């Protein structure tokens, strides 16, 4: 089991995660969202399938702490990605603040192609209660 995000401080950089945007993953994504329009994209992967797989790669390195709430997300895509491409997700803790027993954390992520050109950039904001999981509780 990986560490949780609660154990990391601001500017922590995660080990890059390399993954393939496989046909099976994209097919599963299309079935899950039940959107026939994106089913006809052919060899081009729906952008949000890339986002989902990238976030999963991050969560393989650091799990969400108990009680986490996904507050916000911003994504931008620089180009379309084809099914079967090998990509690398890089992430860091961009911000971390504590207030009234809760942590508010921003995680910045870039996904690059095999030539190290960005294909997706984004930021997610989560909040979770302070507690023993991150070694932050009193007493």
Would you kindly state where each structural domain of the chain is located, as residue ranges? 10-134
26 in Cβ contact with 86 (< 8 Å)? no
Question: In Å, how far are 85, 105, 107, 113, 136 from 102, measured between CA atoms?
Answer: 38, 10, 16, 36, 10
pLDDT at res. 67: 92
What's the rounded Cα separation, in Å, for the pair 112 and 90? 8
Question: In Å, how far are 31, 35, 117 from 46, measured between CA atoms?
Answer: 12, 10, 18
Q: Is the pLDDT of residue 68 over 80?
A: yes
Handedness of CA 1, 12, 103, 111 (dihedral sign): negative
pTM of the model: 0.82
CATH architecture, range 10-134: Roll (3.10)
The arithmetic mean of pLDDT across residues 13-37, rounded, is 87
pLDDT category at 57 given cuts 50, 70, 90 is confident
What's the rounded Cα separation, in Å, for the pair 74 and 138? 33
């Amino acid at each position: 089991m990986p560490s949780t995000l609660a154990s990391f401080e601001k500017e922590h950089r995660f080990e890059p995660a390399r993954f393939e945007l496989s046909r099976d993953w994209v097919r599963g994504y299309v079935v899950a969202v039940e959107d026939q329009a994106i089913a006809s994209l052919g060899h081009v992967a729906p952008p949000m399938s890339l986002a989902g797989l990238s976030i999963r790669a991050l969560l393989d390195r650091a799990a969400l702490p108990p009680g986490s709430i996904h507050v916000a997300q911003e994504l931008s895509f620089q180009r379309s990605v084809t099914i079967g491409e090998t990509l690398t997700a890089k992430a860091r803790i961009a911000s971390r603040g504590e207030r009234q027993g809760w942590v508010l954390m921003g995680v910045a992520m870039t996904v690059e192609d095999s030539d190290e050109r960005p294909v997706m950039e984004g930021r997610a904001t989560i909040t979770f209660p302070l507690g023993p999981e991150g070694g932050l509780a009193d007493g």
